[in-house]
Structure 1
């Protein structure tokens, strides 16, 4: 069967797997964004705490994904829970790093002017510093999302949903009927999904960033 015939025959299944893959990635990145941005706000301006937070979260990126998924099996079993947990652990660092960097890049004169207008610390953060740092923060979320799309494919090793099922299934049956088509469809699906989400973040950047600081 040619690849075009394969796609015509299997496209509903591939579309469903792509949707599941995107859903897992977006859930994980949303959780990581809450954790990363919240932690970044909490430790920003505290050098020791910042170094500790970045060191711990950065260490997760050095752990091979297959090993991490394997370590999570005794704790969470197979399926969705270990998949999302692992993806969150990988996605936090770029968001945390960019949050700290973005907040530190806000000129102190701007913060002093806001305080001079009677704004408290929390209001300065929410209304002044975080909006000014937002382009850098959003870049961190974007990087985490693209990275997580690729890692999510490996979640098939722990029975996670998504396009990894096609890739792993095809590789396991290499030489068999449609094995190469499965692998190629899964790989192309991951690449196209990453591109689509990247374009989505470009649109989100324009919609959520003030024209004056783009």
Structure 2
């Protein structure tokens, strides 16, 4: 509990920002779901067959896994709040539509007859009789949808939409239970508060309820307009993949950019997600810069010919080819850092000693007893598990797991082999050994800022600033910085600033 309070105290500003993002996404999704579902439910009152179909459709939509739905939306609407809101609206439709339909269907026929006897029009009867009577049931559906939205909105952090899910992902990635608990508790409390408010509105006059909701929405809209009007002339968005290392790198980018141009606002989106999310976000102008590695460029983002692949066989400098192929896509790949953050197969030091394991080839003698835990991206890559099967002739019993959990599983003995990177702090933290890639499967992974060519042309001074990192940072230095963030729980920005100052890349203000 003491750790939780300390974390809340240290990160209260970040928590408030994430809370605001979470509320914004949730309210927009709820309003859109209400606007769609309630009129639709009113219309189908006289079309029972259509109502049955729509109930089935909304029910099926709610069964689609949220991550799958987000992934399906990315090619069409990009990354960020838009796909998150669309997904949340999809999940909220069923309870609102179903409760509105049932609430209107269950109205006592005598009330309908009385309204008809008074000569009320269809529209007047709806607003004066039917909706007021069905309102408690409708609001119950809205309340259910609100709780569902707030809970599901934590996944918005996976595609750069922010919210309280950021802390949950960060806590899992860094094995920090207090961060995860802070995000989860904040989301739960938010759901309780909104549920209570909607329950309160259910007990008062429906006109007053609508007025209160309208005032809240107008206030929210006014705040958004004010923020838009007072925003700085230019905002540069820098995103990073999951993990402490991308978090450190984007913090360095931010400091270097702000030093070069103090007038721009730099927004960081850490723990943005997998490579495909970031790449699509960059191509669709949702973000401006993110750190990428040459091996990933050639394996996942471009299609080198067979001849080009032979030229950059494992162990050879593949950065020039990566830069060349990205240029054809209208992207600028800046100068790379010194370290090679390549893949590695990792085991516990005690396990390596027991079976005399030094190279990946040594695993052949115990392959049947190996239980591996790899992340999904590694399993599906030619320079990952596919390549291990082809080049080394090795096959293991493999469990797929989130990258942030695999080292913990290895430490607890739930698996005895996993994939990692040569700069991972966990190698030091858990006393692990990276087996030598004796057949040269893994290519070189040199990292550098990636941006659109148009952005680079309009910001040559920022390109110059970011190129200061070229040929800096060794593998040991990166591993030490990762250790400081992941294990010692220092802030990534603090670690990044310390490195820049110590190595003369940034002058500390006096």
Query: TM-score band (shorter)?
Result: over 0.9
- Once the two structures are superposed, residues 35-91 of structure 1 have per-residue CA deviations (whole angstroms, 9 ceiling, x without a partner) of 110100010132101001111111111101111111111111110100100000000
Question: What is the aligned partner in structure 1 of residue 188 from structure 2?
Answer: 191
Shift of 1:209: 4.8
Aligned residues: 206
> How far 1:2 sits from its partner (Å)?
2.2
The equivalent position to 1:206 in structure 2, one of 185, 199, 203, is 203
Aligned residue in 1 for 2:27:
26
CA contact (8 A) 2:4 2:179 kept: no
Cα offset, 1:108, TM superposition: 1.2
Equivalent residue for 1:182?
179
Which residue of 1 is the match for residue 228 of structure 2?
Answer: none
User: Residues of 2 paired with 1:5 and 1:166: CA distance?
Assistant: 14
SS at match of 1:25: helix
Structure 1 stretches lacking a partner, 5+ long: none
1:116-131 matched pairs, under 5 angstroms: 116-131=117-132
CA shift for structure 1 position 208: 3.4
Q: Is the 8 A contact 2:135 2:202 kept in 1?
A: no
Note the C-alpha offset of 1:32.
0.2
Question: Counterparts of 1:4 and 1:109 in 2: how far apart (Å)?
Answer: 58
**d(CA) in 1 for partners of 2:118, 2:25:** 43
Once residues 193 and 33 of structure 1 are traced to their aligned partners in structure 2, the CA distance between those partners, rounded to angstroms, is 19
Is the aligned partner of 1:141 residue 2:142?
A: yes
- Aligned-pair CA distance for 1:95: 0.3
Conserved 8 A contact 1:70-1:158? no
Partner of 1:58: 59
Distance (whole Å) between structure 2 residues aligned to residue 69 and residue 172 of structure 1: 21
Alpha-carbon distance in structure 2 between the residues aligned to 1:69 and 1:62: 13
User: Is 1:160 aligned with 2:157?
Assistant: no
Q: Give the whole-Å Cα distance in 1 for the aligned partners of 2:119 and 2:48.
A: 27
Distance 2:5 2:123 in 1: 56
Matched with 1:38 is 39
CA deviations over 1:125-180 (Å, ceiling 9, x no partner) = 11111110010000000000001111000111111220011111221222xxxx32
Give the distance between the partners of 2:43 and 2:4, measured in 1 at CA.
51
Deviation of the 1:112 alpha carbon? 1.1
Higher strand share: 2
Gapped regions of structure 2 (runs ≥ 5): 208-510
1: CA distance between counterparts of 2:143 and 2:101? 16
Within-5 A mapping of 1:63-142: 63-142=64-143
1:92-145 CA distances to partner (integer Å, 9 max, x unpaired)? Answer: 110000000000011111111111111011111111111100100000000000
1:6 and 1:181 in contact (8 A); partners too? yes
Q: Which has the higher helix share?
A: 1
| TM-score (normalizing by structure 1) | 0.92
Q: Which moved more, 1:61-70 or 1:199-208?
A: 199-208
What SS class does the counterpart of residue 161 from structure 1 fall into?
A: coil
For 1:44, what is the secondary structure of its paired residue?
A: helix
Higher relative contact order structure (alpha carbons within 8 Å, sequence separation ≥ 6): 1
Distance apart, 1:22 and its partner CA: 1.4
CA apart distance, 1:183: 0.9
| Partners of 2:146 and 2:117 in 1: CA distance | 38
